[in-house]
A and B are shown apart, each in its own frame.
Chain A
């Protein structure tokens, strides 16, 4: 079974340029997450999708960040325009999102390899 796929793996852009990241979750996973991970820190949730609906985007800086998950499968995260402080790793994860809400199967997140963004 294929894991969570992310592309690109690395991206270097100049500030004020736009950038987009793509994520394809594990087949059958309803829930998709985008995280931001700064160097030496834990991941911080940007947005969570249940199927195609964004159910938690309170941490997404909406002035420059946007995301979509068309048809409830793959997802795109965009930054426009990028700032120096956006340099980080962007992680995508997916989980089954079905069954007992306290079960591991429901909650276990499978992470992609991440996209390392450098803004110059």
Chain B
């Protein structure tokens, strides 16, 4: 079974509008962390936002927020007020309890295009 599922291969959004990128995860560990990364065409992976499994509130970082629904195992990324520079690949990732030796899992990504 896939650990991280991103069902939207490509998304389009009008500049200045908000967009939600979907991510669901699969784990039986009670302790885990969820991440979103941005990868522009230049190739570098840029960290955007983090949510710990015990965090009570949804994480926010500037225009990025993570809609964490633990019971549904969902960790959607919301980008508000989209900018042309937001056009990139976006990856959802999960880290299970590192004490059990588990690794980092990445989804297959969503390509976001911001339309002027």
Contact = CB atoms under 8 A, between A and B. Distances in A.
Interface of A: 33, 40-45, 48, 55-56, 59, 89, 91, 93, 101-104, 106-111, 113-114, 116
Contact of A101 (B31, B35, B101): B31
What's the dominant secondary structure at chain A's contact region?
Answer: mixed
Interface of B: 4, 31, 33, 35, 37, 43-45, 47, 50, 52-54, 91, 93, 95, 97-99, 101-109
B109 A108 contact: no
Nearest to A31: B98
A108 B106 contact: no
27 contacts: A33-B104, A41-B109, A42-B4, A42-B91, A42-B93, A42-B108, A42-B109, A43-B106, A44-B106, A45-B103, A45-B105, A55-B101, A56-B101, A93-B45, A101-B31, A102-B53, A102-B54, A103-B52, A104-B52, A107-B33, A107-B50, A107-B95, A108-B35, A108-B47, A111-B45, A114-B44, A116-B43
A114 to B, nearest CB: 5
A29 to B, nearest CB: 14
A42 B68 CA distance: 21
Given A45-B103, A45-B104, A56-B103, A113 B33 contact: no
Contacts of A89: 43
A48 B103 contact: yes
A59 B93 CA distance: 17
Contacts of A41: 108-109
A93 B47 CA distance: 12
A91 B45 contact: yes
Contacts of A106: 98
A114 B53 CA distance: 30
